[in-house]
């Protein structure tokens, strides 16, 4: 006679949700961590990081100083005092924000090898689960940071590619008319090939960017040697004198100087791909010196010939080298754009796992690297947005006004969340937190305030994009909770259902029926409907719940946890399939990994399985449970969410959709 058993007693594997210590034990070293132990492999990783991590910040010399001395910032004169002040501001901005703030501080926040704003928030939430107010605040900051990242993802490809193509105008003014169409053609080609993945071309990115950084240094060295006085700009007193003697001018200039650190967030976001050691090695050994030499060279050239302030980067080069330089710069900006686009895909997938976006159709473009993905909807939304920006702003200089707010907002949020983590989780001394607040957050706050001055001149754009993204994310989160409550009411208790089925002794039909379902407490709607309409049960029934953990990865062998739901002889089990936010939600694989843990209970031969997907048709009720505009947005998102057959990697020829109706 079968007996009711404690489900916990039959569950294989460790208890979930896992603790941080268990997460560390379950997750093996990443490929980057293993390779980093070998000096040659570390060098190869550093080279590869050049092509992904530093594309954005590496192309900033194309437009940063040009923007500072542009007509919009005409109060900044190409005089000795102003040039020294600006170059000094650039040097210390990059040193404090990038070298110290990110390379030395934020990259310590390693969420099982992963980084990025949502990963950082997940790390904080994992450790502060008993502080709901702090967790909720961190989640809101993460949502806002993700919104600002999308704004950055729109502007970066547009300003980078346009600034490179505008180099043709330096060669010959007649080329000016082709800057816009050529920029659009290049970006259209870039977005068209995204579906093939970056794996095949990624190995070429590193060497190209290495050539780019060597070229940056080679352009700057002759001008620095011709006017070595510019090296004194490393003294911070030049920036301080400039700021105190011309506070208004320096404040406006700071809004453009921040362009020199755009892309710094990629150092943290891409940490999981290359590891912190490789990224730091590439930064301090090549990227940082090359950038500083180039900025010094631009400053020296402006001192020699103030007219070159109109486009100091390309005017530094001899005439014979300008066309090749435009070609190389275009390649570098395409690489920078690729990195931002890939980052948008990763952030979108993390947002879906966090319940902030509806299901998206995620295509894995590499069998070896789980991080190489393609999301068609995000890809083409980005392209339409970028093309619109190019047609509206029509120049890189005009776009520069819209650029700073997205960057500085992201910097402030990431550093703020990091300092909360350092204090509340790591117990870092208050005086150290205060020093970081004054030094790093102080500089970032000045940059943010300076960019707020450009709010009416394009600065509204990233805020509008972030606002739209935040609205969508919070609306989806709120609506999903309401639907989940209504769904639970319609489904009923799973344990009561099992007891009822045992009493009724329904006829059993051969085969394995798999029901993807969100929890272990309620009945899958498809299972209830099948029983009510067909009055039969399959011989073997597996209810599979995908459990998204606040860690990037869970080892395959530790993902499946099997529960017989109290009886060994009824052919019904529940599988909890635990995945990190960078793992695939592959339901058939859940059966494979659960087979060894359930052989005594049920045969889980996947080739014999049929999948029953529960679906809900959402309709409007007379008295809405949320504001009408918000309900309209939620219903639109729900209608356009990805097919779960694709999301869960189910074989379509063996999948059935059964559902019901819920009013919202």
Separation of alpha carbons 536 and 205, rounded Å: 58
To which residue do tokens 């547009």 refer?
158
Separation of alpha carbons 615 and 212, rounded Å: 52
Strand 373-375, strand 362-364: pairing: antiparallel
Who's near 520: CB < 8 A, 6+ residues apart? 494, 543, 545, 563, 574, 576
Instruction: Check residue 112 and give left, alpha or beta (phi > 0: left; psi -120 to 50: alpha).
Output: left
Could you give phi then psi for residue 663, rounded to 5 degrees?
-95, 140
Does the pLDDT of residue 196 top 80, yes or no?
no
Please count the other Cβ atoms lying within 10 Å of the Cβ belonging to residue 223: 24
CB distance 453 to 251 below 8 Å: yes
Which residue, among 577, 593, 576, 596, has the nearest Cα to 585 in the 3D structure? 577
Lowest mean pLDDT across 5-14, 297-306, 609-618, 630-639: 5-14
Mean pLDDT value across residues 170-179: 78
Q: What is the pLDDT of residue 210?
A: 93
Which residue, among 471, 482, 473, has the nearest Cα to 357 in the 3D structure? 473
CB distance 28 to 555 below 8 Å: yes
Separation of alpha carbons 587 and 278, rounded Å: 35
Separation of alpha carbons 118 and 581, rounded Å: 10
**Per-residue confidence band for 366, with pLDDT thresholds at 50, 70 and 90:** low
135 versus 513: the higher-pLDDT residue is: 513
For a pLDDT cut of 90, what percent of the chain falls above it?
A: 25
Separation of alpha carbons 113 and 551, rounded Å: 9
Q: What is the pLDDT of residue 601?
A: 53
Separation of alpha carbons 114 and 562, rounded Å: 28
Paired tokens of 112: 């099982």
Separation of alpha carbons 131 and 109, rounded Å: 19
Which residue, among 51, 385, 404, 402, has the nearest Cα to 187 in the 3D structure? 385
Lowest mean pLDDT across 57-61, 119-123, 225-229: 119-123
Does the pLDDT of residue 354 top 90, yes or no?
no
**Per-residue confidence band for 301, with pLDDT thresholds at 50, 70 and 90:** very high
Could you give phi then psi for residue 364, rounded to 5 degrees?
-85, 120
Please count the other Cβ atoms lying within 10 Å of the Cβ belonging to residue 23: 20
Does the pLDDT of residue 221 top 60, yes or no?
yes
Host H or E run for residue 62 = none
Does the pLDDT of residue 267 top 70, yes or no?
yes
**Ordered domains of the chain (ranges, CATH):** 7-16+491-663 (no CATH), 38-476 (1.20.1740.10)
Paired tokens of 69: 């001395």
Q: What is the pLDDT of residues 497-536, one digit of tens each?
A: 888 888 887 888 988 999 999 888 999 989 988 888 888 8
Which residue, among 501, 570, 486, has the nearest Cα to 535 in the 3D structure? 501
To which residue do tokens 């005089």 refer?
79
Mean pLDDT value across residues 88-103: 95
Surface-to-core class of residue 169, CB atoms within 10 Å of its CB (0-12 exposed, 13-18 middle, 19+ buried): middle
What Å distances lie between residue 617 and 53, 478, 645, CA to CA?
43, 18, 16
Mean pLDDT value across residues 319-323: 89
Separation of alpha carbons 305 and 227, rounded Å: 12
Does the pLDDT of residue 201 top 70, yes or no?
no
Q: What is the pLDDT of residues 536-575, one digit of tens each?
A: 899 889 999 999 886 777 888 888 888 888 887 888 899 9
Separation of alpha carbons 563 and 284, rounded Å: 51
Separation of alpha carbons 511 and 633, rounded Å: 41
Mean pLDDT value across residues 112-124: 79
3-state SS string for 172-189: CHHHHHHHHHHHHHHHHH
Who's near 534: CB < 8 A, 6+ residues apart? none
Mean pLDDT value across residues 472-476: 92
For a pLDDT cut of 70, what percent of the chain falls above it?
A: 89
Q: What is the pLDDT of residue 129?
A: 65
Could you give phi then psi for residue 198, rounded to 5 degrees?
-95, 0
Paired tokens of 476: 């989806």
Does the pLDDT of residue 17 top 80, yes or no?
no
Lowest mean pLDDT across 4-18, 147-161, 404-418: 4-18
Q: What is the pLDDT of residue 34?
A: 52
DSSP symbols for 569-622: SS-EEEEEEEE-TTS---HHHHHHHHHHHHTTT----GGGEEEEEEEEEEE--S
Mean pLDDT value across residues 424-446: 91
CB distance 312 to 220 below 8 Å: no
Strand partners, 540: 512
Mean pLDDT value across residues 136-145: 80
The end-to-end CA distance of the chain, in Å, is 45
Paired tokens of 613: 């997907």
Mean pLDDT of the chain: 83
Separation of alpha carbons 635 and 289, rounded Å: 52
To which residue do tokens 């542009």 refer?
70
Task: Report residue 614 CA to chain centroid gap.
Answer: 30
Separation of alpha carbons 205 and 332, rounded Å: 9
Separation of alpha carbons 493 and 524, rounded Å: 10
């Amino acid at each position: 006679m079968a007996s009711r058993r404690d489900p916990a007693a039959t569950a294989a594997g460790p208890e979930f949700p896992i603790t941080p210590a268990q997460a560390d034990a379950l997750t093996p070293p990443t490929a980057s961590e293993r390779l980093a132990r070998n000096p040659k492999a570390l060098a190869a990783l550093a080279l590869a990081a050049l092509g992904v991590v530093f594309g954005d910040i590496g192309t900033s010399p194309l437009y940063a100083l040009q923007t500072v001395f542009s007509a919009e910032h005409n109060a900044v004169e190409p005089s000795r005092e102003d040039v020294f002040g600006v170059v000094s501001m650039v040097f210390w901005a990059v040193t404090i924000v990038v070298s110290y703030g990110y390379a030395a501080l934020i990259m310590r926040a390693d969420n099982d090898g992963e980084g990025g704003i949502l990963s950082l928030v997940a790390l904080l939430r994992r450790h502060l689960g008993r502080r709901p107010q702090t967790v909720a605040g961190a989640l809101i900051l993460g949502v806002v940071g993700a919104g600002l990242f999308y704004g950055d993802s729109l502007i970066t490809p547009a300003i980078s590619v346009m600034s490179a193509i505008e180099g043709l105008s330096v060669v010959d003014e007649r080329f000016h008319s082709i800057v816009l169409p050529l920029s659009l053609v290049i970006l259209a080609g870039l977005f068209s090939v995204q579906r093939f993945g970056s794996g095949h071309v990624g190995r070429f990115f590193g060497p190209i960017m290495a050539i780019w950084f060597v070229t940056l240094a080679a352009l700057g060295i002759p001008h620095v040697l011709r006017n070595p006085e510019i090296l004194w700009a490393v003294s911070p007193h030049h920036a301080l004198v400039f700021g105190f003697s011309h506070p208004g001018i320096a404040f406006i200039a700071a809004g453009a100087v921040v362009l020199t650190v755009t892309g710094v967030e990629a150092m943290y976001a891409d940490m999981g791909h290359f590891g912190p050691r490789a990224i730091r090695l590439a930064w301090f050994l090549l990227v940082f010196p090359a950038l500083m030499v180039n900025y010094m060279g631009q400053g020296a050239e402006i001192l020699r010939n103030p007219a070159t302030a109109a486009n100091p980067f390309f005017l530094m080069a001899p005439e014979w080298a300008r066309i090749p330089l435009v070609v190389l710069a275009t390649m570098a900006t395409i690489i920078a754009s690729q990195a931002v686009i890939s980052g948008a895909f990763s952030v979108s997938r993390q947002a879906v796992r966090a319940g902030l976006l509806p299901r998206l159709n995620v295509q894995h473009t590499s069998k070896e690297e789980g991080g190489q993905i393609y999301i068609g909807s995000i890809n083409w939304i980005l392209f339409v947005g970028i093309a619109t920006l190019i047609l509206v702003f029509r120049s890189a200089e005009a776009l520069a006004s819209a650029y700073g707010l997205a960057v500085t907002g992201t910097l402030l949020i990431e550093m703020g969340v990091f300092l909360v983590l350092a204090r509340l989780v790591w117990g870092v001394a208050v005086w150290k937190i205060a020093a970081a607040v004054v030094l790093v957050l102080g500089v970032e706050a000045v940059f943010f305030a300076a960019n707020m001055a450009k709010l009416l001149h394009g600065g509204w754009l990233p805020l509008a994009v972030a606002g739209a993204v935040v609205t969508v994310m919070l609306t989806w989160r709120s609506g999903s909770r309401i639907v989940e409550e209504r769904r639970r009411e319609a489904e009923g208790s799973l344990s009561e259902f099992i007891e009822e089925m045992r009493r009724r002794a329904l006829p059993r039909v051969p085969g394995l029926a798999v029901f993807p379902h969100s929890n272990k407490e309620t009945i899958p709607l498809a299972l209830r409907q099948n029983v009510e309409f067909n009055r039969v049960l399959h011989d073997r029934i597996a209810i599979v719940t995908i459990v998204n953990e606040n860690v990037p990865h869970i080892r395959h062998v530790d993902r499946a946890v099997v529960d017989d739901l109290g009886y060994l002889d009824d052919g019904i089990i529940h599988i909890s399939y635990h995945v990190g936010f960078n793992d695939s939600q592959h339901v058939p694989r859940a059966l494979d990994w659960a087979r060894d843990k359930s052989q005594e209970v049920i045969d889980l031969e996947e080739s014999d399985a049929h999948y029953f997907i529960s679906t809900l048709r959402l309709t409007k009720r007379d008295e809405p449970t949320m504001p009408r505009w918000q309900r309209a947005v939620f219903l639109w998102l729900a209608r356009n969410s990805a097919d779960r057959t694709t999301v869960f990697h189910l074989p379509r020829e063996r999948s059935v959709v059964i559902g019901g109706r819920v009013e919202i």
